[in-house]
Chain A
């Protein structure tokens, strides 16, 4: 089975042009034989939105999504955007589109608001980690900072996720690594770790391009359930990365390392209750 990761270059605040280019990539992914096409965090809007957050936001029933819904009849998509709720709260969300409909939504839970990040000032945080059925089987979507809190991955793991779609707009920083920014190296480590600890496929899809001197660090990759990086994109180029994946490896990895079988959520819960009550 083939999976397409699109290392996308967004136009900051230009929803319509990003939709057009997303559709183009999805069509190319379809032609290349991919079963699903995954885009980075906020690929339809760009990342450093600040007050643009409120201009680019769309409701789930927005007609602006129609071209994406149409192409999802040919190939399922994961896209990133600002979602406006009924109550006019704004979420950094990822939509899973398939067969002309929104089948699943993940709202980013952890909003980095420190250093170069200011998300908590503009967006509301989600509060659910869930799974859904993708062409690859039980899957979960997490967005960037969500992955820096390992509870999110743990919750997806317990709910049967075999694939983790990690969407990111990671801006490059650090000059202590070779051939990539330090943050890109950290993401590779994170992916290897999570894939191995959950016996799952880990798909990391990051942006490229520049926003006011923030140079996105690319290096999107796929890690197999044994923790091996099996495909990796470049640091700077917009790329359609088509990767062969073999869901049978999840079974194989989980027989070799039966961590899910031995997991003790009851113990976790008991301890969480104790910790919270103390």
Chain B
């Protein structure tokens, strides 16, 4: 534990950061010509926080929450997704994804949990984009900085969205912000889980707590400390190495597909324009 790294994670003025995120959502959607947003509600803290921020940014009438449980999803996830929608008074849909997932895996009855989990994440993405087109909305992302950095997400699944207000907040900061904006305590306090199979927890799968993970990440990423410098602050070198290796191995997940350069100018390399070009 290091004071330096714990301090680096502290948000001094949560009201200000909330205002930044709210304005970010409003302005990035507005500039692109959208008033509405679609949010996939899992019943977890990330998507709940995004829904709260979206309602502040766009108004309750302009936010559509969609819960997409599979038959093994825990009843409390379903309930909490519905609870958030009810609290915020937003349009809400619960769409069971069991039929299409099971129909597909009837072809591959031996498929493992990761394969099935990835398929579910991509099915949910596909539903969110279907709704986005139907409702004239953009899809808000719910990936936080911790999961982006270690690659704890499904490529083109939960990692696919249009605008992400949480991507520069570590998970422990998401908890703080969620509590601050009024996400119900039982959602903030429950163990984070992708809920892909019964009893699954993020921290169990990642192999360390978000509390510890975030300290190592903020040291390496934000403060640009080197491996040995982090270890010397009092962190187990095996844990530090594991985290750094997760970052390195998941770099591909943070990038768009790579293109082979042939011509003078190549779309992903030296054709450089912001997305907000002309907006």
Binding site for B on A (CB under 8 A): 11-14, 48, 50-52, 172, 175-181, 209-213, 215, 235-236
B272:A180 contact, CB within 8 angstroms: no
Some 18 contacts from A to B, beta carbons below 8 A apart, are A12-B276, A12-B277, A12-B278, A12-B279, A48-B274, A52-B277, A172-B20, A175-B13, A175-B17, A177-B13, A178-B12, A181-B20, A209-B27, A210-B23, A211-B274, A212-B275, A213-B28, A236-B23
Name 13 extra pairs, CB < 8 A, besides A13-B273, A14-B278, A211-B276.
A50-B273, A51-B270, A175-B12, A176-B10, A177-B12, A177-B13, A178-B12, A178-B13, A178-B16, A210-B24, A210-B27, A213-B24, A215-B23
Q: Which of A175, A179, A181, A235 has the most C-beta atoms of chain B within 10 angstroms of its own C-beta?
A: A175
Contacts of A213 on B, CB cut-off 8 Å? 24, 28
Contacts of A50 on B, CB cut-off 8 Å? 272-274
In chain A, what residue has the closest Cβ to B12? A176
A11–B274 CA distance with the chains assembled, in angstroms:
12
B276:A51 contact, CB within 8 angstroms: no
A251–B273 CA distance with the chains assembled, in angstroms:
48
Distance from B13 Cβ to chain A, minimum over Cβ atoms (Å): 5
In chain A, what residue has the closest Cβ to B20? A215
Distance from B62 Cβ to chain A, minimum over Cβ atoms (Å): 18
B11 at the interface (CB under 8 A from A): yes
Distance from A44 Cβ to chain B, minimum over Cβ atoms (Å): 14
A178–B17 CA distance with the chains assembled, in angstroms:
10
Distance from A75 Cβ to chain B, minimum over Cβ atoms (Å): 29
A79–B193 CA distance with the chains assembled, in angstroms:
52
A52–B278 CA distance with the chains assembled, in angstroms:
10
Distance from B164 Cβ to chain A, minimum over Cβ atoms (Å): 8
Q: Given A210-B27, A236-B19, A52 and B276 touching (CB < 8 A)?
A: no
Contacts of B276 on A, CB cut-off 8 Å? 12, 48, 210-212
In chain A, what residue has the closest Cβ to B22? A236
B134 at the interface (CB under 8 A from A): no
A175–B12 CA distance with the chains assembled, in angstroms:
6
Contacts of B270 on A, CB cut-off 8 Å? 51
B108 at the interface (CB under 8 A from A): no
A14–B277 CA distance with the chains assembled, in angstroms:
8
Distance from B61 Cβ to chain A, minimum over Cβ atoms (Å): 23
Distance from B30 Cβ to chain A, minimum over Cβ atoms (Å): 10
Distance from B49 Cβ to chain A, minimum over Cβ atoms (Å): 15
B12:A52 contact, CB within 8 angstroms: no
A51:B12 contact, CB within 8 angstroms: no
A51:B271 contact, CB within 8 angstroms: yes
A-facing mask of B96-139, CB < 8 A → 1, else 0? 00000000000000000000000000000000000000000000
Question: 7 tightest A-B contacts by CB?
Answer: A50-B272, A210-B27, A212-B274, A178-B13, A51-B272, A175-B11, A48-B274
Contacts of B275 on A, CB cut-off 8 Å? 212
Contacts of B19 on A, CB cut-off 8 Å? 235-236
Residues of chain B from 229 to 279 with CB closer than 8 A to chain A in the complex: 270-279
Distance from B57 Cβ to chain A, minimum over Cβ atoms (Å): 12
In chain B, what residue has the closest Cβ to A177? B12
Residues of chain B from 10 to 46 with CB closer than 8 A to chain A in the complex: 10-13, 16-17, 19-20, 23-24, 27-28, 31
